[in-house]
């Protein structure tokens, strides 16, 4: 929720944006628009107004501002491109809850072999869900759908965490941990020799050389 100061700044920003595109917005109208926009962060709203100044001509409306707020929801075709990957059970897919719900509508058609009908069914359902979510001012919420290929699962979850779509705590139990490289060569140890592991880092190698010199002295 915007603070009182931010709401005042937003009124000024709306009026200035209207003037830039050749429109005129009264303070009262701008204040009403702020009531519908105050649930978003100022950063999102500033980017939306910048988009309005670049793209609009002649009239600034509440709908035009809302259309340019990046709430994290992918566009319908983008959501389909993510969802269709779930057709292969090896794949791990990180998608929004809306994408998952729309996919549940399309999946029976896909399983029946009708991929042509599956796509428009998905797009229709997703479009309706997206409209409702935006009317309720609900931002995108991401969740993973785990595939059985562990390598691709690790890559998909790590990428989602790096992009901020998922928190590390959400997926830590499903991430593969890289085994630590041993300092000593286990095969050489069996033969009674102390050698550095082939994968040991430079710091370990330097320390072993130092120990060897001390023993030799």
pLDDT averaged over 10-residue windows placed end to end, the chain, 217 residues: 92 97 95 92 92 93 90 92 95 96 96 94 96 86 92 91 87 66 57 62 67 68
Cα separations (Å) of 150 from 93, 161, 187? 12, 16, 29
Q: Is the Cα torsion angle 123, 124, 126, 130 positive or negative in sign?
A: positive
- pLDDT of res. 6: 95
Residue pair 56/88 in contact (Cβ under 8 Å)? The answer is no
- pLDDT of res. 39: 85
Q: Which helix (H) or strand (E) holds 143?
A: strand 142-145
Q: How far apart are CA 3 and CA 45, in angstroms?
A: 13
Beta-bridge partner residues of 144: 94
Q: Considering the entire predicted model, what is its pTM? A: 0.61
- What's the residue count for the chain? 217
Axis-axis angle for helices 4-20, 27-37 (nearest 10): 120
Q: What share of the chain is helix, strand, coil (3-state, %, to 5)?
A: 65, 5, 35
Listed residue (133, 107, 140, 132) closest to 121, CA to CA: 107
DSSP-derived 3-state class of residue 144: strand
- pLDDT of res. 164: 86
Listed residue (140, 115, 123) closest to 77, CA to CA: 123
Q: Which residues contact 8 (CB under 8 A, 6 or more apart)?
A: none
């Amino acid at each position: 929720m915007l603070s009182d100061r931010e709401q005042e700044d937003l009124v000024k920003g709306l009026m200035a944006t209207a003037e830039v595109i050749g429109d005129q917005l009264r303070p009262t109208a701008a204040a009403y628009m702020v009531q519908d926009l105050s649930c978003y962060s100022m950063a999102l709203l500033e980017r939306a107004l910048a988009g309005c100044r670049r793209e609009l001509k002649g009239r600034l409306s509440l709908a035009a501002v809302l259309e340019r707020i990046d709430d994290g929801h992918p566009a319908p075709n983008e959501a389909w491109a993510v969802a269709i990957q779930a057709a292969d059970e090896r794949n791990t897919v990180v998608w929004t809850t809306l994408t998952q719900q729309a996919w549940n509508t399309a999946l029976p058609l896909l399983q029946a072999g009708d991929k042509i009908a599956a796509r428009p069914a998905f797009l229709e359902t997703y479009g309706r869900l997206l409209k409702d979510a935006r009317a309720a001012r609900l931002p995108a919420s991401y969740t993973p759908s785990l595939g059985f290929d562990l390598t691709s699962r690790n890559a998909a979850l790590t990428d989602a965490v790096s992009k901020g779509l998922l928190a590390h705590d959400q997926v830590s139990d499903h991430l593969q941990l890289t085994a630590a490289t041993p300092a000593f060569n286990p095969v050489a140890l069996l033969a009674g020799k102390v050698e550095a592991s082939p994968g040991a880092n430079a710091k370990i190698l330097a320390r072993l050389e130092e120990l060897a010199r001390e023993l030799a002295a």
